[in-house]
Amino acid sequence: MAPTRCDEEPDVEVAAFQSTEAVVEPENAGRRADVWIAARFRWLSRSAAARLLAEGRVEGLDRPLKPATVLQAGERIRLWRPRLEATEPPPPLPPILHEDARLVVFDKPAGMLAHPSGSRFAWALIGLARRARPDHHLHLVHRLDRDTSGITVIAKDDEANRVLKAAFLNHRVDKVYWAVVRGVPSWSTLLVDAPIGRAEHSRVRLRMAVRPDGLSARTRFHVLARFADLSLVAAHPRTGRTHQIRVHLEHAGHPVVGDRVYGQPDDLFLHVLDHGFDEEASRRAGFRRQALHARILRFPHPDGGFFEVRAPLAKDLEALLRART
């Protein structure tokens, strides 16, 4: 069984296309363009990514790209894809934690995409924000996984976007996540200094793992509360590798509750691809989404100085913990 799906896109007129832009993360510098594109736009296979590059439907905004081009951190990629139309009304705009002339910070709920992804239309945070603020040129500064809740920053002009993305790229942003994990750690504080790379022999293409030849990765964890069968842990990532917190918690023996990839056999993720997150998947994962929440973010403000924002713990995670007291 294939771990991911890649549907052929129909032939459409150029006017029916829309663009999606992405920036190469520091941890992905040195990868081939076709490999990175297939990993970043997960509905594409590597061969489909190479074909779109050859057809000019994936282009580099900083230089011409070929499938074998070795990418550099920070360079920008634009993907042209068939325009998708909404099939349902937009959901409410998520709560705003802070807004000023240069940026707006949302408390993204679990289940909402930060940016459109996949071959079907889905409302995403950036699209909802642009509908609500049509007079600004909004940019998504960073992104959270669909199932991760919490702080998401959107820039309101091009210069603010440049400043904020440079801060993330240059590790000038302090992040704190709260995670509900399986089990009760014997430690109160733990530094995991373990390199991360692609998981070998996994049928799940997006799965990462601790491996000696991976990219350096460091996360400090602190136990906030212990319960009979789970714990609340604060995670302070010092690097920005893909799925870093989830991988390091699995490595520490306390995977995130509800995670369908880490701390689980591959067949659970493949089951979700085929059947959705049904009752069986929820029972095996222990919760209906990965119990990870972006709690605190401290970063340079485009107008100078540092700015800190906090998101209250998501209500579903509060309920999960309350049920253990």
DSSP 82: E
Plot region of 318 (φ>0 → left; ψ -120 to 50 → alpha; else → beta): alpha
Count CA atoms closer than 13 A to 196's CA, side-chain side.
Answer: 25
Would you call 274 a catalytic residue per the annotation?
A: no
Backbone phi and psi for residue 260, each to the nearest 5 degrees, phi listed first: -95, 0
Look at strands 58-60 and 17-23 and give their pairing.
unpaired
Q: Where are the beta strands (DSSP E) in 2-148?
A: 17-23, 58-60, 76-82, 96-99, 103-108, 139-140
Find the catalytic residue in 145, 157, 174, 316. 145
By CB neighbour count within 10 A (0-12 exposed, 13-18 middle, 19+ buried), where does 324 fall?
A: middle
Residues recognised as catalytic: 145
